[in-house]
Amino acid sequence: MKIVVTANGADLDAPASPVFGRCPTYLFVDTETMAFEAVENPAMSAPGGAGIQAAQFVVERGAQAVLTGNLGPNAANVLQSAGVPAYMSTEGTVRQAVEMFRQGQLSVMSRANVPAHAGLGSGRGMGRGMGRGMGRGGYSQAAPAPPPMEPASRQEELDTLRQTAETLRRQLADVMGRLEKLEKD
């Protein structure tokens, strides 16, 4: 089966990206052989409609499933219309996400789990904020993924909340590490 994993790098040991429409790289992986192709996300810097463009891109390239953390409503609609399920994957490497998928350990997302435009964080220091950029540390100011508004089940809500809590723990650890480094310099 050919799946796509959102990634922050170009190989199986790259960290999986928690965002879909604006992740840097998509890794298309054959789940049987683990052969993969890394493709730069053509929608990453789109001024608008990144989720829709990204979803159309992965569908056109033959993805039969998507592994990601955050999925907005526009991208979710495109994937759903194409019959491509999305699975919640918020931690570890691409290889680990694929293994969890193969073992049936990932929850299918029955709908979007973030609001529209959730991936549009300012403050990334890329010169696109019209003078409002607040830093160059690479951290997006977009809010972390909230749980679905109407969870399909109690278990889905629990899984989403646990994954959100873990994402927040990692983000806090990253921020604290960066603070310590900056304070020492």
Does residue 102 lie within any of the structural domains?
yes
Pure H helices in 61-140: 73-82, 94-102
Does residue 106 lie within any of the structural domains?
yes
Does residue 60 lie within any of the structural domains?
yes
Q: Domain count of the chain?
A: 1
Does residue 15 lie within any of the structural domains?
yes
Q: Which residues form the domain of 17?
A: 2-115
Compute the C-alpha angle 56/73/27, nearest 5°.
Answer: 45
From first to last of the 185 residues of the chain, give the pLDDT tens digit: 999 999 999 999 999 998 998 999 999 999 999 999 999 999 888 888 888 999 999 999 999 999 998 888 888 889 998 999 999 987 899 999 999 999 999 988 877 766 555 555 433 333 334 333 333 333 333 333 333 344 456 776 666 667 666 666 766 777 787 788 888 87
Three-class SS state of 16: strand
Does residue 154 lie within any of the structural domains?
no
Q: In what order do the strands lie in the sheet with 2-7?
A: 36-40, 25-30, 2-7, 65-68, 86-88, 108-109
Does residue 159 lie within any of the structural domains?
no
Three-class SS state of 106: coil
Does residue 90 lie within any of the structural domains?
yes
Pick from 70, 66, 59: which is nearest to 27 by CA? 66
Does residue 170 lie within any of the structural domains?
no
CATH number of the domain residue 106 falls in: 3.30.420.130
